[in-house]
Amino acid sequence: MIPFNVPPFVGTELLYVEQAVKSHKICGDGSFTKKCHAWLEENLPCQKALLTTSGTTALEMAAILCDLQPGDEVILPSFTFSTTATAFVLVGAKLVFVDVRPDTMNIDENKIEAAITEKTRVIVPVHYAGVACEMDTIMDIAKRHNLKVVEDAAQGVMSSYKGKALGTIGDFGCFSFHETKNYSMGEGGALIINKEEYNDRAEIIREKGTNRSRFFRGQVDKYTWVDYGSSYLPSDMNAAYLWGQLEVADKINNDRLATWNAYYEAFEALQKQGKVMLPVVPNDCTHNAHMFYLKCKSLEERTDFIAFLKEREILSTFHYIPLHSSPAGMRFGRFDGVDEMTTAESEKLVRLPLYYNMKKADCDSVIDAVLEFYQTK
């Protein structure tokens, strides 16, 4: 069976985890966490990075730092994972879902402004498949309406928009290092803080509401509880695992891009024949091969496609069920305007196996199976 995903593993992770254990420092903010922070700050680059226990908790921290109050509104796409939404629901915000673009499956920047009300406080662009949203337009809207921007860049490590790393454009960026992502620590994430004014409070929120980080830097003579917070810092063992992959980030990125490009080249003819739609990467965007998807003509065809590949020992899968049609989505939010693209396009999308160190023979098997399916279509 060719799996849909295999968590990345480069070989040094266990050595570094062992070093973390032997250092007798396995809680948060040990030496490997500091290495990961430095890598993110230097390579993105960004003003400040903080590892978190997940991409979800990175979003939760961003929601708190936005100082949202119950009833405030947050604009986001419906085609995203539940964590994009629930992070803001936890602070009492009302969700306003906006339609997506059919080419990138990202939020339609031309429909955001119509969704803004006097209660709107934040826009949350989600960079689907590691391909950037149209950030110039979004940032211009935010500036004119005095709104904050939280980039959900869970899938976007090593991707960029007009030369800027995803996650470094808005007020905050949120990464995921879940086992399904290009770089993994099992469960983990990172908050990217792009304005220095938020640094101190972010550390306090991450350290259970205490000023513990300032104490260890010698900035206060004792630490105490000063604000709302939780335990958002991961174990240094998780950070050690991640560090092994960040050290060879380009190698992982290039390996994934090779598979992505092989798929694209193999299926270009199908797109020209009008049988499928392939991913679109705008000219001013650099992507990270987080996923490869194609769009079938209908939900029925997609169902047959997934079953066809499974019969040939290949696991493919659909993606999000739009949030606005879910029980929680209807309870906590509303869809602004007409759902022209979100549901219709999501029902046609199917993702193919793609992971670091995927064997060429397996990639070729996937290609052959897809071409075989469409021979009679």
Mean pLDDT of 330-350: 98
Which neighbouring-strand residues pair with 98? 77
To which residue do tokens 């936890």 refer? 90
Alpha helices, H only, 94-193: 135-145
- Residue 215: pLDDT over 70: no
This prediction has a pTM of: 0.96
Identify the three-state secondary structure at position 98.
strand
Fold (topology level) of 13-246 = Aspartate Aminotransferase; domain 2 (3.40.640)
Give the residue range(s) of CATH 3.90.1150.10 domains in the chain.
249-374
* Per-residue model confidence (pLDDT) at position 377: 81
To which residue do tokens 């810092």 refer? 233
Give the residue range(s) of CATH 3.40.640.10 domains in the chain.
13-246
* Per-residue model confidence (pLDDT) at position 223: 82
> What is 249-374's CATH number?
3.90.1150.10
For every residue of 192-238, DSSP letters joined together read EE-SGGGHHHHHHHHBTTB-HHHHHTTSSSS--B-S---B-PPPHHH
Contact by Cβ (8 Å): 206, 62: no
* Per-residue model confidence (pLDDT) at position 304: 98
Helix orientation angle between 31-43 and 13-22, rounded to the nearest 10 degrees: 130
pLDDT tens profile 119-145: 999 999 999 999 999 999 999 999 999
Count the neighbouring beta carbons within 10 Å of the beta carbon of residue 69.
11
Lowest-pLDDT range of 116-120, 218-222, 350-354: 218-222
pLDDT tens profile 20-76: 999 999 999 999 999 999 999 999 999 999 999 999 999 999 999 999 999 999 999
* Per-residue model confidence (pLDDT) at position 216: 66
Contact by Cβ (8 Å): 279, 269: no
